A and B are shown apart, each in its own frame.
Chain A
Amino acid sequence: MLVFCPILLQCNLLTPVTAFTINNISITKQYVYSVLLVCFVSVLCFLFSTYIEYRVIAFLLLVTVSVTAVLFDILPVLLAAVLSALIWDFFFIPPHFTFRVGTTEDFFLLLMYFVIALVNAVLTHKIRRVEKIAMQKEEKAKTVKLYNTLLNSLSHELKTPIATIIGATDNLQTNNVKLTPQNRHDLVQEISKATVRLNQQVENLLNMSRLDSGFIQPKKEWSDISEVIYDAVKRIEENGIQQQLVINVNPSIPLFKLDEVMLEQIIYNLLNNAVQYTPSTSRIDIMAINHADVLQVVVEDEGAGFPEAELKKVFNKFYRLKNAKPGGTGLGLSIVKGFTEAMGGIVSLENRKSGGAKFIIEIPAETSYLKNLKNE
């Protein structure tokens, strides 16, 4: 679990729900605004009190309280309710400018005004709370679903090789007599493949959590791009691939000042992705050119390409194409994106007209044409 934790925490799975606008206004401001609103409406009513009957004014004030109830928390709303009741009594119920109420009828009206205003406030508050709970539940359901996707993908990718290793070693230990030399050889072969796969997944997870922690700092050194590309190719070829890799780097490409280890990992992941998802007979092209102090690396394959709708999403963490065949965590390409961006570059993906995917990495970097320093 040690490895997963930083990753999961970074997925923003645990952020609290902040869907309500009232949370964005501080409580003090809410008090001020509700008092101001009530006062504003009261002044307006007072100016026109010769034209509007005071009972109608009660309704106008009630509407005002309802508005505050929609916008604000319960306490500012209660304040608005009480304040508006007092204002109505003092300024509008005859006799004016006294809290005295002239008739029994008016007394009941005032009482009812007060009760309605309060009920209004409390009801709105309750409705809002129910809404909030519902939203939280929904949010939590989403979180749980995302968690499950992550864990499914991770546990599948980690447990498959582990299961292979356990199964094969059990066989070798307890079933040894019945196994032919060929069987034994095959089992050992499977263990070997499984460990390579397991190691690759762990490497991906570690890189991802390094990226997530923000701990990653590119170490810029003068780098020979064709050397970096050939190293990545060598590493991929050690996995025993069948596709044809074609490298095209102009020998006069300058040296670039960048983190060669990161660049190699980027190229390796792109190649690995191409190798995993293209037929064994197809060809993979790697090109590198200098574009006005921007290093451009292009990896093209002859696979099926990506559905247009998913082109943008493939760099997302743990994203896997629908119907993707097993064999990836959906981390490889997000590491490509993370590393490229850590180096100040951008990555893009398009489908080739002739079919297949085309990944383009562009990294701005200092260049040096110090080559041809002959006879020193």
Chain B
Amino acid sequence: MSNKAIILIIDDEVQIRRLLEITLESNDYEVRMAATAKEGLMQTAIHPPDMILLDLGLPDQHGHEVLQKLRGWYTNPIIILSVQSGEEDIIKALDNGANDYLVKPFRTGELLARIRSSLRTKTIQENNPLLENGSLQIDLAARVVKKNNEVIKLTATEYNLLALLAKNEGKVLTHHYLLKEVWGPGYLNQSQYLRVFIAQVRKKIETDPNRPEFIITESGIGYRYVSKE
């Protein structure tokens, strides 16, 4: 057995499968493929892959349904592929347990970056109190953030927000999720808090807060903390 990560592609379009197969194999992943939801669910049950790329528009079952079924027991990363750029659809998938999404047509570089980051989150996330990302350092144990080795003063809420994003590096966190986790379930409709605090955190950690490098906006969906590999 090789130690290559195994990725299962569930997509009904032959061309997309071929393209993904070539791209992923040439980047040292082992690729498995399924053209229908049924086939995909079966393959996952028999040989659980390290990651699934799931197309939302499958012929036999809706992607959201497949996602829910998979999430019943499958815990590895799932990245959604979708042609609809409708934010509602993406938010629904993220709420249903997808780790990330890509809207077709997507750039290969983007795809590989998302795959890498999802796989990394899976392996490193546990018990890693020190998150280093370029010039930024977050010590989760001491609750200290440093930029270029200088301590940055953050309020409790600012720290909680940054830490939550950083712990989920590479993953989009929806507005609702962030509001619920940082402020509490009573604040789900108070998106103005999120806006204000994201702006404040950016002012403190970004070199140019208007052109952020750490906390990226996913318009209409949420925010993503990205690693500067």
Contact = CB atoms under 8 A, between A and B. Distances in A.
A259 to B, nearest CB: 8
Interface string A20-56: 0000000000000000000000000000000000000
Residue among B175, B192, B220 with the highest chain A CB neighbour number at 10 A? B192
Q: How large is the interface on B (under 10, 10 to 19, 20 to 34, 35 or more residues)?
A: 20 to 34
A223 B217 contact: no
Contacts of A227: 195, 198-199, 217
Contacts of B198: 224, 227
Nearest to B190: A222
B87 A219 contact: yes
Contacts of A199: 105
Interface stretch (A62-70, A316-324, A365-373): A365-373
A89 interface: no
A247 B210 contact: yes
B219 A264 contact: yes
Nearest to A206: B85
B219 A231 contact: yes
A373 B198 CA distance: 12
A226 B105 contact: no
A375 B192 contact: no
B219 A195 contact: no
A261 interface: yes
Q: Is the interface of A mostly helix, strand, loop or mixed?
A: mixed
B61 interface: no
A199 B156 CA distance: 44
Given A255-B196, A370-B192, A375 B217 contact: no
Given A219-B220, A247-B210, A261-B87, A370 B196 contact: yes
A261 B219 contact: yes
Interface in B43-97: 87-88
Contacts of A195: 105
B191 interface: yes
Q: How large is the interface on A (under 10, 10 to 19, 20 to 34, 35 or more residues)?
A: 20 to 34
A373 B199 contact: no
B107 to A, nearest CB: 10
A255 B192 contact: yes
B210 A226 contact: yes
Nearest to B105: A199
B155 A374 contact: yes
Given A222-B191, A370-B192, A376-B157, A230 B175 contact: no
Residue among A222, A255, A259 with the highest chain B CB neighbour number at 10 A? A222
Nearest to B191: A222
A254 B193 CA distance: 12
Given A195-B105, A261-B220, A223 B155 contact: no
Nearest to B194: A222
Nearest to B156: A376
Interface in B141-198: 155-157, 175, 191-198
A221 B175 contact: yes
A355 B28 CA distance: 55
Interface string B186-227: 000001111111111000000000110000010110000000
Nearest to A229: B210
B193 A230 contact: no
20 contacts: A195-B105, A199-B105, A221-B175, A221-B191, A224-B198, A227-B199, A230-B211, A231-B219, A234-B211, A247-B210, A255-B196, A259-B220, A260-B219, A260-B220, A264-B219, A370-B192, A373-B197, A374-B200, A376-B155, A376-B157
Interface of B: 87-88, 105, 155-157, 175, 191-200, 210-211, 217, 219-220
Interface of A: 195, 199, 219, 221-224, 226-228, 230-231, 234, 247, 255, 259-261, 264, 368, 370-371, 373-376
